[in-house]
Amino acid sequence: MAGISQRQRELTDLLKKAAESYYAKDMEIMSNFEYDELYDELVKLEEDSGITLAGSPTVNVGYAAVDALPKQAHEQAMLSLDKTKDREMLRDWLNGETGLLSWKMDGLTVVLTYDDGALTQAVTRGNGEIGEVITNNARTFINLPLHIPYKGHLTLRGEAVISYSDFEQINEEIEAKALAENNPGELGYKNPRNLCSGSVRQLNSAVTARRRVQFYAFALVEAAGVDMHNSHAGEFEFLRAQGFDVVEYHKVTSATILDEIQRYEDKISTFDLPSDGLVLLLDDIRYGASLGRTAKFPRNAIAFKWQDEQKETTLRGIEWSASRTGLINPVAIFDPVDLEGTSVKRASLHNISICRQLKLGLGDKLVVYKANMIIPQIARNLTESDTLVIPYTCPVCGEPTKIRNDNGSESLYCPNPDCAAKKVKSFALFVSRNAMNIDGLSEMSLEKLIGAGLIHEFADIFKLNTHRAVIENMDGFGEKSYEKLVTSIRTASNTTPERVLCALGIPGVGVNGAKLLCRAYKGDLNAIRSADETALSEIDGIGPVMADAIVTWFADETNSTRFDRLLECLTIDSSAFENAGEGHLPLEGKTFVITGSVNHFKNRSELKNLIESLGGKATGSVSKKTDYLINNDVNSGSSKNRKARELGVPILSEEDFLSLTGVTKED
């Protein structure tokens, strides 16, 4: 026997650090792709040497619980799952048994306990033996039942997750808040998993509540006195009957599993919840238990990770993109390659640490892939020239940059408060589709106009027609470009109050918040400006944090003065909100949830806009507050349909909805 090698020692230490960073600090020092490759290498080295070092990630699960939260030992150890990327191996693993194939959710695993029908405790997975108590935070999960019909002692496991759409909105809010508080370099979150982990393990549950965390049950641990008919599928349906959202699953056999895997794969590009693969669980409870476990893995379940399609390409450049918070994000630009059916030529590098770890240099040969078949990533650098120069000055304002260390991860940012990039991002939000909707003003165009001294504040955009000669002679412009731009600005000047509010960049006030405010104040922007924090926070859906941000923004003398000058440039139509709150609108006070495809509308957003214009509210999940669920497949067995039936919520087709409102297709 050769004994332990230096490489095995290095990998054990490196992967321990990566796991600690990922699980305990919500940071990443390497990609999931690289971690999996190094992990598999370590497993092989341990098998060859017959030696496993203490602390090896092949025998330890999760992370050490942090000191800030109370600790709790799990009644039953929480094991990891063995994994494979081989579909045929997954089929053979079934060995003639029936299995349950489900999403492997990518969030934070939580163990819940209910007694006498009430939630009594929530604990994170931690290291599999000891987790962190997060009961008060779990009470804020948006789809978690606090009281259930079953009155015995119930323990279950599930995944806390944040959807991709919520993740994007929350990161925008973080950036907006950082900008308002003059906190340059404030980082958003790299992915929904990191955001969820940081949100769930908060000392202040109010923070968790703002993050729109969802919970999906994937295992029943204990429910005394309930006959599950020796079936994990029976356990899932029992949990569903208690009001839990259960991870999507399908029964499979050796004959059907390959087709079912393909169906999951086809859903990935439009699936809004983060997932890093699938889980295959034997349905027969007693048989699965009889198989026992290894030191780390149970033998009744296995994880499947997608076999990432990889392509070689050449690094042509690094785009250093300055954000409005000052953070300068590196983006790799490479020769286009086809991955998972689309052409890819860019991949975010996230921070300086990852650039250095990859040892990048222009002209290097890269291997690229799509993480979870969605997000372009660099798997490895085959050349490793390590010649990349980190910018010493901001690419926009030319002022010296700084490197900031956040929990061991280095990021580049511009500390100059007057950097034009920070203004560019604010103006880009102002002219965006959901705000003032001004075509022809890309960030590149805005940067040129700001750099030329033509735009200093929002109102200046509506006065660009006074600078015709200057604009027509600017690089990238011309007579036709100028005419199109001025026409677009003129069109945008006739607008609605919610667009104006959304465009201002008030922290937390996006499309939905702006509509809620305009509905409450009948579209009167000056009334919103004059409202105090107490009045604003009483509006359903606003709350004290957003109310404070609104009051603070308008209390700033510069903001208020510039707002007045902006209003002078606009013609605002508030008619859609004039009857709000008086019962004159047909859907006043009604809450809808939309699911599935639509036939009479371009998309679900168009249907949502109609509901809101008629005084209603559209939310993402079915609850006791929901008045109607809109689903053209009225009789489907989807989770939202089942939840609606359990709560007695009527399920409407589009035709039913149009009949209810009196709106015709032509309207």
* Each residue's pLDDT tens digit, 380-400: 899 999 999 999 998 877 889
- Residue 665's pLDDT is 59
Q: What is the mean pLDDT of the chain?
A: 84
The count of residues in the chain is 667
Of the pLDDT bands very low, low, confident and very high (cuts 50, 70, 90), residue 29 is low
Of the pLDDT bands very low, low, confident and very high (cuts 50, 70, 90), residue 453 is confident
Q: What are the catalytic residues?
A: 104
If one compares 606 and 117, the residue with the highest pLDDT of the two is 117
How far apart are the C-alpha atoms of 91 and 87, rounded to whole Å? 6
**Across 370-374, 446-450, 531-535, which has the greatest mean pLDDT?**
531-535
Residue 132, beta-bridge partner list: 71
Q: How much is the CA Rg of the chain, to the nearest whole Å?
A: 27
Half-sphere exposure at residue 18, Cβ-oriented, CA atoms within 13 angstroms: 22
Instruction: Kindly give, in sequence order, each residue whose CB lies less than 8 Å from that of residue 447, ignoring residues fewer than 6 positions away.
Output: 396, 420, 421, 424
Specify the CATH number of the domain 71-164+190-304: 3.30.470.30
- Nearest to residue 114, comparing CAs of 93, 135, 137, 90? 135
- For the chain, helix (H) and strand (E) counts, in that order, are 25, 24
Cβ pair 73, 129 in contact under 8 A: yes
- DSSP for 21-81 reads HHHHSS--SS-HHHHHHHHHHHHHHHHHH----TT-TTT--S-PPPTTSPEEE-SS-----
How far apart are the C-alpha atoms of 247 and 249, rounded to whole Å? 6
If one compares 147 and 456, the residue with the highest pLDDT of the two is 147
Q: Which fold has domain 6-49?
A: Helix Hairpins (1.10.287)
**pLDDT at position 588 over 80:** no
Q: Which fold has domain 311-413?
A: OB fold (Dihydrolipoamide Acetyltransferase, E2P) (2.40.50)
- SS3 at position 143: coil
How far apart are the C-alpha atoms of 288 and 159, rounded to whole Å? 22
15-29, 151-165, 486-500, 607-621: the lowest-pLDDT one: 15-29
Return the domain boundaries, the chain. Answer: 6-49, 71-164+190-304, 311-413, 420-492, 497-577, 591-661
Please give the average per-residue pLDDT across 588-601, as a whole number. Answer: 86
Same CATH fold, 497-577 and 420-492?
A: yes
99-108, 147-156, 342-351, 497-506: the lowest-pLDDT one: 342-351
List the structure tokens of 123.
């604990």
- Residue range 604-613, pLDDT digits in tens: 888 887 887 7
Please give the average per-residue pLDDT across 68-96, as a whole number. Answer: 84
* 150 φ, ψ (degrees, to nearest 5): -70, 130
CATH class of 591-661: alpha beta
Query: pTM, whole model, 2 decimals?
Result: 0.53
Angle, CA 440 vertex, CA 438 and CA 444 arms, to 5°? 115
* 628 φ, ψ (degrees, to nearest 5): -145, 145
- Residue 65's pLDDT is 43
Please give the average per-residue pLDDT across 1-30, as a whole number. Answer: 68
Q: Is residue 255 packed enough to be buried (19+ CB in 10 Å), middle (13-18) or exposed (0-12)?
A: exposed
Cβ pair 124, 137 in contact under 8 A: no
- Residue range 123-133, pLDDT digits in tens: 998 877 888 89
- SS3 at position 413: strand
Please give the average per-residue pLDDT across 441-450, as a whole number. Answer: 83
- SS3 at position 386: coil
Instruction: Kindly give, in sequence order, each residue whose CB lies less than 8 Å from that of residue 306, ignoring residues fewer than 6 positions away.
Output: 85, 265, 277, 372, 373
Q: Considering Cα of 498, then 500, then 503, then 509, what sign does the dihedral take?
A: negative
Element (H, E) at 527: helix 525-530
- Residue 425's pLDDT is 78
CATH class of 497-577: mainly alpha
**pLDDT at position 578 over 90:** no
Residue type, 268: I
Of the pLDDT bands very low, low, confident and very high (cuts 50, 70, 90), residue 497 is very high
How far apart are the C-alpha atoms of 102 and 252, rounded to whole Å? 10
**pLDDT at position 159 over 90:** yes
- Residue 79's pLDDT is 79
Q: Which residue has the tokens 């780390």?
A: 296
- Residue 125's pLDDT is 87
Q: Which fold has domain 420-492?
A: DNA polymerase; domain 1 (1.10.150)
- Residue 580's pLDDT is 60
Please give the average per-residue pLDDT across 111-130, as a whole number. Answer: 89
- Residue range 199-257, pLDDT digits in tens: 888 777 888 888 889 999 999 999 988 999 999 999 999 999 998 999 999 999 999 99
